[in-house]
Structures are given as C-alpha cells and as structure tokens.
Amino acid sequence: MTFPRVPDASAVAEHFAHALRAARRDDTPYRHWALSDVLPEDLAVGVLVLPIVPPMVGDSHGVRDTDNRKRTFFTPELRARFPTCAAFAEGLQRPQIARLFQETCGIEVAGGYLRMEYIQDTDGAWLEPHRDIPE
C-alpha cells in the first residue's frame, strides 16, 4: 500500500477543472484568478511528502530566473520516480484542461505545454506580472 493514495489522472483533471471553473477573477492590479481546493487531498499530501526539498531562494526582486539552477520542475525523470508527480502532470496536461484554460483565461493554448515547477514561497515573496514568451 502506498501513502498517500495516488489518484488517477482523470480524477486530478476533474478536481482541478472544478476549481478553475469556480475561480474568482480579479482585474486589479492585473488580471488574475484565485483558486481554492485545487488538488485532490491525497495528491496535495503526496506533493507535500515528496522527498524533494525545494531550495531556499533569497529575495528574487520579483523574478524567478535570478537563480534558475535551483529550480525544480516535474520533469519526465521525476514523473518516472514519483507516482504523485506523474498523476499531477498527466491530469493537468489533458486536452480538456488546456481547453478550460483557453476558455477561462482567453488565451491560445494550442501546441503549448504546462511547465510545472515545485516551489515553496516564503513570507514576503512576490512575483511581478510577466509572460515568459512575448507575443
């Protein structure tokens, strides 16, 4: 038996879709959405107990790329090692989730992929509005 139980990707997708549909949109100070109950509880616990310690990053002055070598992503290697990472990635990479992002956010997602980063912010952390790829 594995603890915690790892939900299948379809359950992850369904749970996330419900959270995104129920998200509260706010346009101040910029357009963003506040989500709650984003992941199934077992998956959230699975992420918390991963034997991975996200590195402590000091004041990044509002940007994440100040110390790229310390960043941890749900790569194919991590997904192969940890079923929690696989379920997380497979659930959020589903076409219906991409369509829901497109409908909710009014963005084009065809041909794109989510880049899933494992990060823990500390008190006072902030990130300036940005787009990784200019349009």
Which is more confident, 111 or 59?
111
User: How much is the pLDDT for 36?
Assistant: 97
Residue spans of the domains in the chain: they are 9-55+69-118
DSSP string, 73-118: E--HHHHHH-HHHHHHHHHHTSHHHHHHHHHHHT---TT-----EE
Q: Is the pLDDT of residue 6 over 90?
A: yes
Which is more confident, 126 or 49?
49
Residues 69-92 have a mean pLDDT of 92
Residues 9-25 have a mean pLDDT of 98
User: How much is the pLDDT for 132?
Assistant: 61
State pLDDT tens for residues 20-65. 999 999 998 888 899 999 999 999 999 999 998 766 666 666 666 6
Residue labelled with tokens 């616990």: 45
